[in-house]
Structure 1
Amino acid sequence: MDEHAHGETGSHDGQADGVVAVTAHGRQHEGHAEHTASGTAHAHDHGDHGGHGGAGDHAGHAGHAGHGGHAGHGGHGDHAAMFRDKFWLSLVLAVPVVAASHMVGDLLGYHVPSWADWIAPVLGTVVYLYGGWPFLSGAVSELRGRQPGMMTLVALAITVAFVASGLTTLGVGGLDLDFWWELALLVVIMLLGHWLEMRALGQASGALAALAELLPDVAELVGDDGEVRSIPLAELRAGDVVLVRSGGRVPADGGIVDGSAELDESMVTGESRAVRRAPGDRVVAGTVATDSAIRVRITAVGEDTTLAGIQRLVADAQNSRSRAQALADRAAAWLFWFALGAGVITFAVWMAVGTATTAVERTVTVLVIACPHALGLAIPLVIAISTAVSAKAGILVKDRLALERMRTVDAVLFDKTGTLTKGRPTVTDVAAVDGADESLVLALGAAAERDSEHPLAKAIVATATARGAVPTATDFRSLTGRGVRATVDGSEIAVGGPALLREFGVEPPEALARHTDTWAGRGAAVLHVLRDGAVLGALALADEIRPESRQAVDQLHAEGIRVVMITGDARNVAEAVAADLGVDEVFAEVLPADKDSAVAELQRRGHRVAMVGDGVNDAPALARADVGIAIGAGTDVAIESAGVVLASDDPRGVLAARRLSTASYRKMWQNLTWATGYNVLSVPLAAGVLAPIGFVLPPAAGAVAMSLSTVVVALNAQLLRRVDLRQPRG
């Protein structure tokens, strides 16, 4: 190893701050479950999760018999099926109940025979017990938890209607409260609303199921004898070599050992274009080899894979609470007491001014229409859908509060190395002395450097190989602190920096020196190529700026956001990159331990700061920022400190996160406003304040209105799926 072979040139651009550039595709360590799992040491347990799409125990849904207590997000599909079955059977039973109603018969002009008088009580009781069971058992759960909410209101409404109708049928108390047909329709409508709700939540929470489905059922294991056999995914172990055929999915994280292919990584990174992967490159479980077969040595399986970590991040995000959710919870809890109080007042007033029948009917209507169903759904559905949308776009939300704050950010602080740049050197310029050819300078330099392990040497070899053939070199020698020597086609070729020139006692020609001075002025590392002791030319190497970085900076400026860059590199290097990108401000020569001070400085000026970084030394700054964003799936500590993780290494993801923040926050408040406003306006109508002018709202109509309110909230949340988070191509 010749780590110091290049001496003064060794600390090339991007190395001063010690950042280890680790992208989503090129992690430099194995077994990375922890950092992809956002610092959690265990897979998230959903078993106690009662609510919608991971919103926690919000009022009104904490104890759903059909909602709460389900194990994991897969439960939404089961509950949707349960509500669907109960809805259809209850609807079939409700038809004869309605048809046997004397009121309906009189309305439609037909006579109900006396023998049919028991149809409504018998079938109505079945509907109440069978169709109403989720609400009755849910009410018990809510009352046991001392959190009465929506299920308690629904159970109270249908129970009052059932008891009143039953007493009337039995002739007890001289009541005339025949609500059987309204009771049946009320249960049917409530079941329909819950079925649609569960189906919507199941679709929204399908992000986890979709991620799980990315993995194949079996892997093709390559044995020591070269034979390929299929094994269940559970039997795969780290160190195994598997064959991934064209069109097949990578079964677990690993590195390519043979073959190359265009890999579709969109399901993990949100990047729509396939990416070429070759031997030595890392590949991620769930990605697809689109054009040819590859052999992959497995480095992580099961819960240790990137995909499993992303699943945990999505689950944690769907279960994390937001300020808007806390507000909705409090509103739903208060709404129960508001509805109960309104029901009591309604009953008392109508008993005083009307009949017992009217009093019970009005009370039932108030209890039904005041159900905080839409309010209970307002935030959880937005959270579930936004998390699913963001996961598809490669934005992994670890902290919902961080995502909410993202919309208020007015300054974005980018770490330079590995974030705005690729974090590895590349040849940016080649110059030759008069009479020499630039391609020859590059080829000879690469030939001499081929056996070197230095990052600059690897960059030279990679560039030369991409442009053409590289001659064979012999007698390679590493000159510690100066450069390298080798024999190429009978000539001695030396490559190095200023120390090498001093050793040979040569100076570059003036024309070449003008080039190298310009390169050095913008922070590039300069290496000279000598043939038989004479300067043949020079190479400039610098940390390559990501092509997406310019678009990211331009788009942030278009949204009125200040863009700041921070780096441990020399000021001339930092300012050259900043000038190229159009960055507003630069913090240069910053020690790793002082990066969070730059964040604090921007905050003291009144900015709300998002810090974007990928390295261990970015962690304090990520934690101090209003929003910490780890890019390229970063490192363990960066993930743990960040609130938002970008699965790809594209800095334009910051814009996508901001768009998502703005859109989801807007949907939350639209839903809250609608759901709360609906209840405030509808309860007085249900209580009969317009009865003096002839307007009376029947209980069944109240149930329809309540269900329509829920539908409006659900449809509004679904519009989040239309938010364009895709990154424009430059």
Structure 2
Amino acid sequence: MSDHHGHHDEHAPHQKPTDRECPCCRVCECYRDESDEEASSHEGHHGGGGHDHGGIVDHSGHEQMFKRRFVVCFLLALPVLYYSSMLQEWFGYTAVQFAGSAFVGPVLGVIIFAYGGVPFLRMGAVEARNREPGMMLLISLAITVAFVYSLAAVAFEIGEPFFWELVTLVVIFLLGHWIEMRSVRRASGALDELADLMPATAERIDESGDTEEVSVDDLSEGDLVLVRPGANVPADGVVEEGESNVNEAMVTGESKPVEKTPGDEVIGGTTNQSGSLRVRVTATGEETTLSGIMRLVDEAQQSKSRTQVLADRAAGWLFYAALGAAVVTAIAWGLAEGFGLSVVERVVTVLVIACPHALGLAVPLVVAINTSLAARNGMLVRDRIAMEEARNLDTIVFDKTGTLTKGEQGIVDIATTDGWNEDDVLTLMAAAEGDSEHMIATAIREEAHARGLSVPSTREFEALEGRGVRATVETDISVGTGESSAVQQGTTVYVGGPNLLRHLDIDPGDSLTAFADEAGSRGQGVVYLLRDDEAVGAVALADVIRDESREAIDALHEMGIEVAMLTGDSEDVARAVSEELGIDTYFAEVLPEDKDEKIVELQEQEQLVAMVGDGVNDAPALTRADVGIAIGSGTDVAVESADVVLVENDPRDVVSLVRLSRKSYRKMQENLVWAAGYNVFALPLAAGILAPIGILLSPAVGAVLMSASTVIVAVNAQLLRRADITA
């Protein structure tokens, strides 16, 4: 049984991430050092210049720092390459000479090492202090060996320096890091896009009805604000006046605009489209839905998956393997050719090739894209491990009411006696129930409205407690096909259930009795229409099954996942819903406090189980399941008992979640295979195993290959964006 839910207690106040936790830093192992003259290498990253959205930070500072250093070092490297004696010999040209031209390579090499290489040295030093060797330490060793050897070669004339290779290494490392940071920034862009949704100002309406423009930060609960067409809603609230369509796509994943009328809730950051709305503020700042979503997205990007932990360990192992290979290479080449330039070249090449850039990027970049893609589709991931587990699910258990069904009564069947048709029965039922607030009355009126029926007015409405309603028709109407079907002004009609029939001592007749028996076997309730002491029609009502539920269950079956259902309803109701949807297993008459026991039953059968519920009554079961999914939480995104929160009440999002989990894991595996395979293949080449047949890799070529592997991993991860995860 899973026990990974202990983290749920940790989500209370959201802590601003430290540099060690930052997903951007996790990729490049770049940790803040206050002694950095450019503590602004993190500008906009963890402080001053960056956007801070409730503890969520912007990583663009890293990208800009590496871009700036790359451009400067690239320009300074050109003269070094031009005056390199080795390149002159290779390409058959003679560089223009001037007084001091011999010092172009050494001087610019030192500058490039200091400006472009020092960030890597500093990050490598942090890895060494933390005893967590990784790619930064390998880069530091590679460029330091090249730099020290080249200086010694110039100072003591012990050989040919290779400043051109040193500066090439630094430039390629900076380019690779810039590409990485750009990929991470784009992948993590969901937070920035969400933050940009919230407007800076709002139009607050005072008691006299006048409007004033105020900062969104100055809004308080209870304020009334005006939201004009085209403007973004400044805070969560309830519509008091006006009708409009609101685009909620960026928050809920719902592509179609949602109609809003007085009494409807609106979410801060969504876009008002057609009409003006007056909205009473119910939540501001950190309490808004948007802030909750951003916190969950940020938490997901910071949490590590099992695959990522494996990649981090592999990077550490690779450091020791590379160091060992470098030592063996140095000894072997030193014994074979003497300890000179060739030995240094081999050692530097081994260290460069072994840099686990691709390995370090393989998983975090997929995680960032996964989280962004999930958020765009209304799926908020709180636990990375649970997201990863979703790909292996054996059984998904759905709560029935409000999840597979709408949680409200609806008409599912209609029966009539001779001379009457369905519309006739609905017309009179809707008329009689016109003043009733009962949920059955609401279901009848909604069905009549959906059919476009013209409902006559009534008078002398009376609610018959426990039995139904009675009302008198005000106008003559013609219904049915026979004379007996005419309804004249002053006719009294009744609508009610079996208790009403018993109270009035009326026999519904064989056809309606058979209809009621069949409906009862399906767990449905029956309501009759009576006129002139005669039952003329009946409707069957049930908790309406969502059309989306059928699609979701069919899709899960196609994926090889079994579906179970939990409900507190009777055996008849549970069986009817289960048969209609094709559910594999159902548990009926289950009390909320006993739902987690059913999850345990399935887990004891060695099944990996997900629970899908509303996050309130289902909290124990959500926590007990291997993957807890809260569905239809709407504005309540901070469901502590769930691993994943689905903003929309759409069971098909569960299918999307499993598909995204599978596709993301496949990308992680592809990237890990490529990154690890590249090193296994390239390290022997770097050590010179093919030297006897004339194949040797220079440090610069090694750096190119290393950076190429990083780019391939980044591009492969980006392909996840094109994945179709919709049900």
Q: TM-score, normalised by structure 2?
A: 0.89
Question: Which stretch shows the higher mean deviation, 681-690 or 246-255?
Answer: 246-255
**Aligned letter for 2:16?**
D
Superposed CA deviations along residues 277-316 of structure 1, whole A, max 9, x for unmatched, are: 3332222222233333333322222211222111111111
User: Is the contact between residue 255 and residue 282 of structure 1 (CA under 8 Å) also seen in structure 2?
Assistant: yes
Moved more, 484-493 or 368-377: 484-493
Q: Give the superposed CA RMSD.
A: 2.6
**Residue 365, structure 1, aligned to residue 368, structure 2:** no
**Aligned positions of 1:272-351 closer than 5 A:** 272-351=255-334
1:522 equivalent in structure 2: 522
Letter aligned with residue 41 of structure 1: A
CA shift, 1:57, in A, is 5.2
Match of 2:485 in 1: none
- Aligned residue in 2 for 1:217: 200
Percentage of pairs with the same residue: 52
> Does 2:16 correspond to 1:41?
no
User: In the TM superposition, what are the counterparts of 1:534-573 in structure 2 within 5 Å?
Assistant: 534-573=534-573
How far residue 349 of structure 1 moved from its aligned partner, in angstroms, is: 2.4
Q: Which runs of 5+ in 1 are unaligned?
A: 1-36
Superposed displacement of residue 634, structure 1: 6.6
Whole-Å separation in 2 of the counterparts to 1:671 and 1:229: 54
Q: 1:599 to 1:387 in 2, by over 3 A?
A: same
Match of 1:392 in 2: 376
| Residue aligning to 1:132 | 117
Q: Using a 3 Å threshold, how does the CA distance of structure 1 residues 647 and 483 change in structure 2: closer, same or farther?
A: same
- Give distance in 1, aligned partners of 2:44 and 2:361: 16
CA contact (8 A) 1:616 1:637 kept: no
Query: Distance between the aligned counterparts of 2:195 and 2:27, measured in 1?
Result: 27
Taking structure 1 as reference, are residues 243 and 491 closer, same or farther at Cα in structure 2, changes over 3 Å only?
Answer: farther
Conserved? CA contact 2:615–2:631, under 8 Å: no
Deviation, 1:129, is 0.3
Q: 1:709 to 1:69 in 2, by over 3 A?
A: farther
Name the residue aligned to 2:486.
none
Q: Distance in 2 between matches of 1:119 and 1:125?
A: 10
Extract unaligned runs of 5+ from structure 2.
Answer: 1-7, 47-54, 475-489
Cα distance in 1, alignment partners of residues 162 and 556 from structure 2: 61
Matching residue of 2:397? 413
1:542-566 deviations in whole A, cap 9, x for unaligned?
Answer: 1111111111111112222222222
Q: Which residue of 1 aligns with 2:87?
A: 104
Paired position in structure 2 for 1:84: 67
TM score, norm. by length of structure 1:
0.88
| Partner residue, 2:614 | 614
Give distance in 1, aligned partners of 2:27 and 2:231. 42
* 315-324 vs 575-584, which moves further: 575-584
SS in structure 2 of the partner of residue 526 of structure 1: strand
Q: For residues 666-687 of structure 1, what are the alpha-carbon distances to aligned partners after superposition, in whole Å with 9 as ceiling and x for unaligned?
A: 1111111211122222222112
- Partner Cα distance (2:550, 2:403) in 1: 12
Q: Is the 8 A contact 2:44 2:60 kept in 1?
A: no
Deviations 1:621-645 (A, max 9, x none): 2222222211112797993222222
Report the more deviating stretch, 586-595 or 504-513. 504-513
Q: 1:241 to 1:509 in 2, by over 3 A?
A: farther
Q: How far apart are the structure 1 equivalents of 2:235 and 2:106? A: 60
CA deviation digits over 1:365-384, x for unaligned, max 9? Answer: 11111111111111111100
Please say which of residues 620-629 and 241-250 is displaced more in the overlay.
Answer: 241-250
Equivalent AA in structure 2 for residue 231 of structure 1: V
CA distance in 2, matches of 1:624, 1:356: 64
Matched residue, 1:145: 130
Out of 71, 77, 93, the position equivalent to 1:94 is 77
The aligned runs of 1:431-580 (5 Å cut-off) are: 431-436=415-420, 438-466=422-450, 467-489=452-474, 490-531=490-531, 534-580=534-580
2:206 & 2:177 partners in 1: Cα distance? 52
1:425 pairs, out of 393, 399, 409, with 409
Between the aligned partners of 2:28 and 2:67, the Cα distance in structure 1 is: 24
Residues 624 and 68 (structure 1), Cα distance of their counterparts in 2 relative to 1, 3 Å cut: farther
* Separation in structure 1 between the aligned mates of residue 635 and residue 502 of structure 2, nearest angstrom: 41
Aligned mates of 2:622, 2:634 — CA distance in 1: 12
Would you say 1:352 and 2:335 are equivalent positions?
yes
Name the CA distance, whole Å, in 2 between partners of 1:223 and 1:435.
60
Q: Which amino acid aligns with 1:272?
A: S
Asked whether the 8 Å contact 2:300–2:382 carries over to 1, the reply is: yes
Q: Which moved more, 1:235-244 or 1:57-66?
A: 57-66
Listed as ranges, the matches of 1:10-49 within 5 Å are 40-49=11-20
Distance in 2, matches of 1:546 and 1:687, equals 63
Once the 2 structures are TM-superposed, how far is the Cα of residue 488 of structure 1 from its aligned partner?
4.5
Q: Deviations over 1:39-85 (max 9, x none)?
A: 832234223344534xx857955679868994276442111111111
Q: Relative to structure 1, is the Cα distance of residues 410 and 43 closer, same or farther in structure 2, using a 3 angstrom cutoff? A: same
- Asked if structure 1 preserves the Cα contact closer than 8 Å seen for 2:84 and 2:105, the reply is yes
Report the counterpart of residue 236 of structure 1 in structure 2. 219
| Structure-2 change in CA distance of 1:632 and 1:152 (3 Å) | same
When the two structures are aligned, how many residues end up with a matched partner? 687
Question: Structure 1's 563 and 510: CA in aligned 2 closer, same or farther, altered over 3 A?
Answer: same
Match of 1:208 among 169, 191, 204: 191
Q: Aligned AA for 1:129?
A: A
1:40 and 1:686 mapped to 2: Cα distance? 47
Q: CA separation of 1:649/1:46 partners in 2, compared to 1, >3 Å: closer, same or farther?
A: same
Deviations 1:311-359 (A, max 9, x none): 1111111111111111111111111122122222222222222242111
